[in-house]
Amino acid sequence: MGIVNYQGYIDQIDNSDPVVSEINWFIREIYLPAHKRADKSSKATRTLAVLFSIWAFTLLGFFAIAELSPHLKIFTQNQLWDGYDFNWIVLAALPSLMLATFVSFRVYPFKRADNTFVESDEFTWRKRQSLALASFNLIFVVALTCAFTKPLICLLGISCVAGFLLTYMSNRLFGFTASSIRNQTMVHHLRRLKREYEIARHDAGAFEVDRIQAETFKRLFSMVENMIDRRDREILGDHYKVHNSAFDLVKGLKK
């Protein structure tokens, strides 16, 4: 989550206020760290799922063409350059490589060099994750340019399908994306609650402060209880969905 610069004419209340202190504690100690932890895994698994799908379509596409149109003989040359001829068929995978590279850098912090939009720790993990995902594509580049054989391409294609299912189901089962969005939403709600409290306190008389604080505390703990209920429902829902999907897949294979 990026750093938000405050703009407005109503002064912010410091941490000495009990309501502001409690809201800030929930943000800093519970929901924001939980969002950051889940966000890393969410982006990694979702990006890997997309990369696996790109290479699955590409590699199995080559295999399907070889099976459906054997007269094309696309696997006659297993290297990009064998010393005599250039394997132009491999170049058909160039758009897939470009797309996979673009997807790999989807979380890279390109926006500004001074990290205005991301914090320093987020800048570091985004950069490392993007480079790791981009390096993942080298496996398929080596296979296409140095070992372009029908059995290997088929094996890699099937492995990509399995990898897609594994990363997708892992994300759903462990709830990375759901947890990231849920905690990020809670942080936004808490910040809004704090701002509403600051606005209510701005023109309030001394006799109204206790009432405003009590009402805000009541809303705060109600939001926390609702978040716990929502978390439990989503965790159970994700487990049921993954279980049902796996069960349906097994039934389909038996048929």
Q: Show the tokens assigned to 235.
A: 């965790």
pLDDT at 191: 96
Q: Any idea what the Cα angle at residue 127 is, between residues 124 and 128, rounded to 5°?
A: 85
* 171 torsion bin: left (phi>0), alpha (psi -120 to 50), beta (else): alpha
Predicted structure pTM score: 0.85
C-alpha pair distances (Å), 20 with each of 10, 33, 223: 15, 18, 15
Neighbours of 35 (CB within 10 A): 21
pLDDT at 7: 56
pLDDT at 118: 74
Q: What is the DSSP annotation of the chain? A: -PPPPP--SSPPP-TTSHHHHHHHHHIIIIIHHHHHHHHHHHHHHHHHHHHHHHHHHHHHHHHHHHHH-GGG-TTS--SSB-SS-B-GGGGGGHHHHHHHHHHHTTTS--S-TT-SSS-HHHHHHHHHHHHHHHHHTHHHHHHHHH---HHHHHHHHHHHHHHHHHHHHHHHHHTHHHHHHHHHHHHHHHHHHHHHHHHHHHS--HHHHHHHHHHHHHHHHHHHHHHHHHHHHHHHHHHHHHHHHHHHHHHHHH-
Q: Show the tokens assigned to 254.
A: 């038996």
pLDDT at 203: 81
pLDDT at 45: 97
Q: Which residues of the chain have pLDDT under 50?
A: none
